[in-house]
């Protein structure tokens, strides 16, 4: 075993072997993998081996598509068989809501280039005659679905990596991980110590333990999962072709052919978390005891859906653990707070996602960033606030809802409330309906008197409609108030702060007392942030951006801090909170509660200043995401309740209207304002999204991504965001709906909703630059229906900005 290496991958399951292979594929050959037992020990060896492309997140679906296409490549390189069976798969819908979900997924697939198809019950019966179609409304067919041999595939990854120079050391157990001052690691094993420049935690069931060796908690949990393989079934034996995969969400099951019988697995409600307090090091190739009692109801349902099972004998029962993160997606990427320590964990669908995870991580390590937006699987989407007490109920909830309908407005209840602000009980007393972001409770809307304080999950307009309308009109006609706790906030201080910000941010860095809007770019020119930069004095700046991306952004800041910089960057997201007030009476309200001059000339649009509001020290910014006359008022959490009482009492006769995020999303559509991870994300560039107007092209700073941004500016983007009024019925655009032009898919939507102020359904999406024109008629596919839409270029509200700037 070698004792020095560029990368040491810990864990010899399908994910670790995929990472090892992709590192060699992208050019790093001084890499090794260590495995405490044999390759595939842990979850890999007992996996059902199914793969599919269906995923609600389009980037995850693309990674799954890449993974499936990779298997033939592995077979060509190694001469080994992955045991591929491309049999196609059908997802069944037995309720209108499930059918809506499948239609929405099919619409996404159109612009992704995936050849899926909506099936009628009779078409399902023709393809899969063993399915009882009673109660079935329709289904979604994916020709890429299939299954493989987990053992052969994992060893093919490992062999391909070895052929390119990688080393694989089995029966080598890691004991300690010790960081060196230069950012490298000493990996202490029972066979000796390895000095590694980078460490990758791909330890699967033991990822928590390997994380703890580096001093980090990774939010994941093994769940005990059970599937059954039947004896030979005559109806299967007599088929001329292999039976397709069947996903039956109503029965919480998946079914496929296994040999001359069937394999069926369940995501049952009475599920079983496993090894909650840590995975035993002695565990490996064992299975858990059979537990038929927890799948009794699932089996009874399966007998009705697949009657052939009722008379089939049981050949074997596979009951083993595999790991989930709280949202079911992997935990991948550089672990915040550590140098050269990488995560490739919680990949519960290893044979659908393992190849894409390996590619993503290898690109991140070698090229600095993955080619696709990886936020859905980025380990930084969870912060240090996660604990086992949070992870366990969220993972259980995710397991139970694995096959549930995923609604765009759904707020799942497990492990909530957890993180709250001082306003939580006050909002509760006002019939607040909460969502959550990054573990924090956030008001979505305030229910009308007599209405439930619960939003009905739906693909169509929900019971939040009238309450949201009331809040929107309260802002536009009078004055509204909304909490600003769900902004990510950073303090940047020091004599080198301005110089550093000029390098990090593509936009203009403001002078004292002013703020600016600026994109933050990767070297490739893609967006990595959308920030407000506020200059409080020459050496003190406040940055605000997405609350849910705060660890993601802080990691980027730290990666781009040089030791010689006199700059201090702190995440103050939970140490600075407050409110925004917006609407035509906002200036009057602010003037009532401060002795500072807040007149239009004294306190201009995009000004920022410290002032006393009531008795509270605050930072007030003359800006509002509502697109209206507005102010953001920041204070410390201890002063927040006082600030609320001051503002609410002063605003009572002005008709002060509290509003939540549902109204905020409607208000921003009036102005066509984009939203982070919707219109603005690492999938897109400044030129495509219109954020290029905030780039300071003439500033004397070589900001990150400058060369790529200049190249895009000179060449011009091929596509650009535009806005549409949609002739919608009872469902509005959510995201990723295809935009049809001249009978073909020409673009896709990034977000949408209903403008309660304008009384119109609105969509934002991409079209080719050459086709964008005022009044262009297109069609947008919403839940399988083509809805006419018209492109417009002037905002629906305050088109000339008079009220916002006045």
What's the CA gap between 200 and 16, in Å, rounded? Answer: 8
What's the average model confidence in pLDDT over 199-214?
98
Q: Is the pLDDT of residue 63 over 90?
A: no
Sign (positive or negative) of CA dihedral 717, 719, 721, 723 = positive
What are 547's two structure tokens?
Answer: 């609350």
User: What pLDDT score was predicted for residue 285?
Assistant: 83
Please tell me whether the peptide bond between 417 and the residue prior to it is cis, using omega within 30 degrees of 0: yes
Q: Give residue-wise pLDDT tens across range 611-648.
A: 999 999 999 999 999 999 999 999 999 999 999 999 99
Identify which of 374, 75, 404 has the alpha carbon closest to the alpha carbon of residue 251. Answer: 404
Q: Helical H runs in 79-164?
A: 96-112, 121-127, 150-163
Identify which of 352, 259, 374, 332 has the alpha carbon closest to the alpha carbon of residue 71. Answer: 352
- Strand segments, DSSP code E, in 170-237 are 174-179, 185-189, 192-201, 221-230
Q: Is the pLDDT of residue 652 over 90?
A: yes
Q: Is the pLDDT of residue 445 over 90?
A: yes
- Strand segments, DSSP code E, in 430-523 are 432-437, 440-446, 480-483, 487-493, 515-521
User: What pLDDT score was predicted for residue 61?
Assistant: 84
User: What pLDDT score was predicted for residue 62?
Assistant: 85
Q: Give residue-wise pLDDT tens across range 6-61.
A: 999 999 999 999 999 999 999 999 999 999 999 999 999 999 999 987 777 788 88
Q: Give residue-wise pLDDT tens across range 319-343.
A: 999 999 999 999 999 999 999 999 9
What's the average model confidence in pLDDT over 89-100?
96
Q: Is the pLDDT of residue 428 over 90?
A: yes
Q: Give residue-wise pLDDT tens across range 154-172.
A: 999 999 999 999 999 999 9
Q: Give residue-wise pLDDT tens across range 467-493.
A: 999 999 999 999 999 999 999 999 999
Q: What is the tally of helices (H) and strands (E) in the chain?
A: 20, 39
Helix 58-78 and helix 150-163: axis angle, to 10°? Answer: 70
What's the average model confidence in pLDDT over 74-91?
96
* Confidence class for position 389, pLDDT limits 50, 70, 90: very high
Cβ atoms of residues 199 and 63 within 8 Å: no
What's the average model confidence in pLDDT over 529-549?
97
What's the CA gap between 641 and 423, in Å, rounded? Answer: 6
User: What pLDDT score was predicted for residue 55?
Assistant: 77
Q: Is the pLDDT of residue 206 over 80?
A: yes
Cβ atoms of residues 454 and 433 within 8 Å: yes
User: What pLDDT score was predicted for residue 773?
Assistant: 97
Q: Give residue-wise pLDDT tens across range 545-598.
A: 999 999 999 999 999 999 889 999 999 999 999 999 999 999 999 999 999 999
Q: Is the pLDDT of residue 759 over 90?
A: yes
User: What pLDDT score was predicted for residue 393?
Assistant: 98
What's the CA gap between 226 and 254, in Å, rounded? Answer: 11
**Mean of all residue pLDDT scores within the chain:** 96
Cβ atoms of residues 262 and 281 within 8 Å: no
Q: 3-class SS at 517?
A: strand
The CA distances from residue 165 to 25, 29, 158, 250, in Å, are 10, 5, 11, 47
Cβ atoms of residues 485 and 427 within 8 Å: no
Q: What are phi and psi of 625, to 5 degrees?
A: -70, -15
Q: What percent of the chain is predicted at pLDDT more than 70?
A: 100
Q: What is the total residue count of the chain?
A: 806
Q: What percent of the chain is predicted at pLDDT more than 90?
A: 95
Q: Give residue-wise pLDDT tens across range 98-111.
A: 999 999 999 888 88
Residue 419: DSSP 8-state: B
Q: Is the pLDDT of residue 114 over 90?
A: no
């Amino acid at each position: 075993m070698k004792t020095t290496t560029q990368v040491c991958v810990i864990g010899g399951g399908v994910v670790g072997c995929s990472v090892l292979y992709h590192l060699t594929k992208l050019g790093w050959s001084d890499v090794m993998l260590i495995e405490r037992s044999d390759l595939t020990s842990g979850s890999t060896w007992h996996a059902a081996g199914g793969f599919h492309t269906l995923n609600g997140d389009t980037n995850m679906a693309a990674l799954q598509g890449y993974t499936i296409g990779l298997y033939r490549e592995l077979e060509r390189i190694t001469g080994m068989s992955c045991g591929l069976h491309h049999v196609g798969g059908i997802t069944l819908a037995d309720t209108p809501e499930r059918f809506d979900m499948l239609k929405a997924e099919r619409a996404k697939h159109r612009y992704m280039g995936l050849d899926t198809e909506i099936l009628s019950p009779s078409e399902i019966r023709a393809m899969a005659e063993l399915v009882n179609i009673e109660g079935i409304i329709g289904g979604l067919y994916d020709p890429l679905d299939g299954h493989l041999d987990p053992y052969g595939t994992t060893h093919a990854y490992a062999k391909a990596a070895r052929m390119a120079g990688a080393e694989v050391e089995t029966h080598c157990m890691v004991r300690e991980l010790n960081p060196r001052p230069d950012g490298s690691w000493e990996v202490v094993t029972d066979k000796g110590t390895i000095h590694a420049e980078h460490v990758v935690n791909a330890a699967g069931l033991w990822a928590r333990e390997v994380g703890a060796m580096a001093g980090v908690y990774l939010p994941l949990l093994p769940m005990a999962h059970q599937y059954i393989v039947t004896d030979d079934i005559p109806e299967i034996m007599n088929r001329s072709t292999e039976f397709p995969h069947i996903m039956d969400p109503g029965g919480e099951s998946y079914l496929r052919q296994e040999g001359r019988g069937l394999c069926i697995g369940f995501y049952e409600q009475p599920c079983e978390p496993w090894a909650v307090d840590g995975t035993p090091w002695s565990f490996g190739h064992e299975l858990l005891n059979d537990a038929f009692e927890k799948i009794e109801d699932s089996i009874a349902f399966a007998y009705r859906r697949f009657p052939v099972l009722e008379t089939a004998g049981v050949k074997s029962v596979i009951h083993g653990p595999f790991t989930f993160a709280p949202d079911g997606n992997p935990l991948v990427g550089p672990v915040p707070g550590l140098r050269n320590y990488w995560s490739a964990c919680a990949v519960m669908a290893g044979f659908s996602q393992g190849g894409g995870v390996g590619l993503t991580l290898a690109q991140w390590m070698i090229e600095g960033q993955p080619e696709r937006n990886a936020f859905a699987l980025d380990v930084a989407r969870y912060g240090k606030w996660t604990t086992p007490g949070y992870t366990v109920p969220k993972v259980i909830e995710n397991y139970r809802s694995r096959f549930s309908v995923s609604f765009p407005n759904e707020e799942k209840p497990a492990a909530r409330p957890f993180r709250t602000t001082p306003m939580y009980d006050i909002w509760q007393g006002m019939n607040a309906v909460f969502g959550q972001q990054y573990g924090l409770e956030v008001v979505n809307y305030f229910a009308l008197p007599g209405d439930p304080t619960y939003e009905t999950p739906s693909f169509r307009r929900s019971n939040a409609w009238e309450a949201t309308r009331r809040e929107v009109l309260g802002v536009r006609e009078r004055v509204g108030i909304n909490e600003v706790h769900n902004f990510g906030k950073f303090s940047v201080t020091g004599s080198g702060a301005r110089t550093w910000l000029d390098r990090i941010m593509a936009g203009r860095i403001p002078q004292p007392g002013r703020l600016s809007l600026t994109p933050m770019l990767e070297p490739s020119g893609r967006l990595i942030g959308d920030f407000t930069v506020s200059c409080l004095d020459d050496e003190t700046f406040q940055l605000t951006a997405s609350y849910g991306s705060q660890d993601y952004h802080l990691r980027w800041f730290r990666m781009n801090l040089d030791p010689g910089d006199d700059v201090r960057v702190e995440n103050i997201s939970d140490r600075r909170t407050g409110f925004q007030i917006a609407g035509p009476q906002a200036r009057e309200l602010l003037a009532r509660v401060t002795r500072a001059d807040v007149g239009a000339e004294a306190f201009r649009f995009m000004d920022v200043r410290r002032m006393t509001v009531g008795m509270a020290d605050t930072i007030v910014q003359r800006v509002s995401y509502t697109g209206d006359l507005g102010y953001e008022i920041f204070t410390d959490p201890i002063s927040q309740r006082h600030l609320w009482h001051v503002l609410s009492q002063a605003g009572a006769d002005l008709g002060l209207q509290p509003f939540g995020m549902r109204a905020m999303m409607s208000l921003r559509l009036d102005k066509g304002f984009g939203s982070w991870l919707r219109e603005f994300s690492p999938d897109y560039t400044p030129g495509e999204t219109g954020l290029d107007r905030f780039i300071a092209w003439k500033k004397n700073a070589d900001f990150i991504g400058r060369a790529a941004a200049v190249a895009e500016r000179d060449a011009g983007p091929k596509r650009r965001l535009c806005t549409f009024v949609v002739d919608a019925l009872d469902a509005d655009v959510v995201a990723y709906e295809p935009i049809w032009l001249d009978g073909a898919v020409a673009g896709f939507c990034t977000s949408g909703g209903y403008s309660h102020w304008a009384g119109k359904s609105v969509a934002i999406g991409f079209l080719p630059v050459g086709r964008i024109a005022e009044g262009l008629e297109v069609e947008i596919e919403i839940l399988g229906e083509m809805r006419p839409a018209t492109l417009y270029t002037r905002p629906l509200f305050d088109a000339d900005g008079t009220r916002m700037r006045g």
